[in-house]
Structure 1
Amino acid sequence: MRVRQYVYFAMKSDILSAVEMSARIGLEPDEAMVQGRRSRQPLRPAMHVWKIACRDPGLTVDEMISRVVDRLEPFSEAVGGLVEELNRGHSGSCAVLQVVRYYGDEEGEVEDLRSPDPAFEKVPGQHQLLGWHLDGRVLRFLVSARAELDVDEYG
């Protein structure tokens, strides 16, 4: 089985552009979307989006999350303040840590069937990229950033 995955932290707003969000927190995004750029009727994208992403191959989800949080952590107070402001009048959070994983993707990474110990055979179905956790540092960041966690997996 092949697995392709990536992680990003996004802030979304129907008021502030990604440029304005960057100015407010002092960090340029890796990716940005402009509200209404593709279509005005219906509005697509529906909101402005500011993203810090990790799409590096060979990393586990926890490693990807850690790289994203490493970059954002020095700005967590500014991010949290901005997200609190953006959340006013919205039912959910305007910030999300997004995990996306595709199973069986042609562009994904192949399962490594080599055993770390020659005395043992590694059986298929134990893909090296499967499984992940959130440590206390990541959880504290999510709370300070007032962000939600969303995980999407596709097969």
Structure 2
Amino acid sequence: MIISQYAYFALSSTQVSAAQITAQLGIEPDEVVVRGSRRVEPVRPAMHRWKVACRKPGLTVDDQVAQIVDRLFDHADRIGKLAVELGRIEGRPCMSHLQVVRVFEHPDGEEEDLTSPVEGWQKLPGQHQLLGWHLNARALEFLRLTGAELDVDEYAYG
């Protein structure tokens, strides 16, 4: 089995651009999405999006999320206040989310490591080292402070 995965934290809006979000937070994003940059009718992407991402291969979801949280935790209150303001502007709650994306059998993904035993146990196929993950208390507190939802998507390549 081959797995490719990444995680990102995002603030989204139909009306407030990623550049405006950057100006309000004073934090440079890793990625931005511009509303309507691919198609005007229907509008795609549907929203502007400001993102801090971790796309480093070989890391577990736990580690990817931890890198994002470590980078943003000290700003969580400000991010949360902005998320509430974006929700007010949009007329709906939750304009912030932590996204985890996992793609099975992606050609750029990481192969399953069956060579090294774990704590003396032989590894069997189907026990990929990237499977399974958890959110620690700090990550959960970050989600609470930022008013973020957790969204996990898993896909099969092809």
Asked if these proteins are the same fold (TM beyond 0.5), I'd say yes
Instruction: Tell me which amino acid in the other structure corresponds to 1:114.
Output: T
Alignment gaps of 5+ in structure 1: none
**How many angstroms apart in 1 are the aligned matches of 2:8 and 2:91?**
21
CA pair 144-125 structure 1, distance change in 2 beyond 3 A: same
- Range moving further from structure 2, 90-99 or 105-114: 90-99
- Range moving further from structure 2, 20-29 or 35-44: 35-44
**1:73 correspondence with 2:58:** no
CA pair 68-105 structure 1, distance change in 2 beyond 3 A: same
Q: Provide Cα deviations, 1:4-44, integer angstroms capped at 9, x if missing partner.
A: 00000011011211011011111011000111222222111
- Tell me how many residue pairs correspond in the alignment: 155
**1:44 correspondence with 2:41:** no
Please report the TM-score for the alignment, with normalisation by the length of structure 2.
0.92
The residue number in structure 1 matching 2:30 is: 30
8 Å contact kept, 2:29–2:51: yes
**1:85 correspondence with 2:98:** no
Alignment gaps of 5+ in structure 2: none
**How many angstroms apart in 1 are the aligned matches of 2:20 and 2:143?**
22
8 Å contact kept, 1:3–1:101: yes
Residue 7 of structure 2: SS of its match in structure 1? strand
How many angstroms does 1:119 deviate by? Answer: 5.5
The residue number in structure 2 matching 1:17 is: 17
Instruction: Tell me which amino acid in the other structure corresponds to 2:134.
Output: H
Residue 41 of structure 1: SS of its match in structure 2? coil
- Range moving further from structure 2, 25-34 or 81-90: 81-90
8 Å contact kept, 2:94–2:148: yes
Q: Provide Cα deviations, 1:32-57, integer angstroms capped at 9, x if missing partner.
A: 01112222221111111100000001
8 Å contact kept, 1:26–1:75: no
The residue number in structure 2 matching 1:7 is: 7
CA RMSD of aligned residues (A): 1.5
8 Å contact kept, 1:101–1:154: yes
Q: Percent identity?
A: 52
- Range moving further from structure 2, 83-92 or 103-112: 83-92
Please report the TM-score for the alignment, with normalisation by the length of structure 1.
0.94
**How many angstroms apart in 2 are the aligned matches of 1:46 and 1:16?**
12
8 Å contact kept, 2:35–2:47: yes
CA pair 114-80 structure 1, distance change in 2 beyond 3 A: same
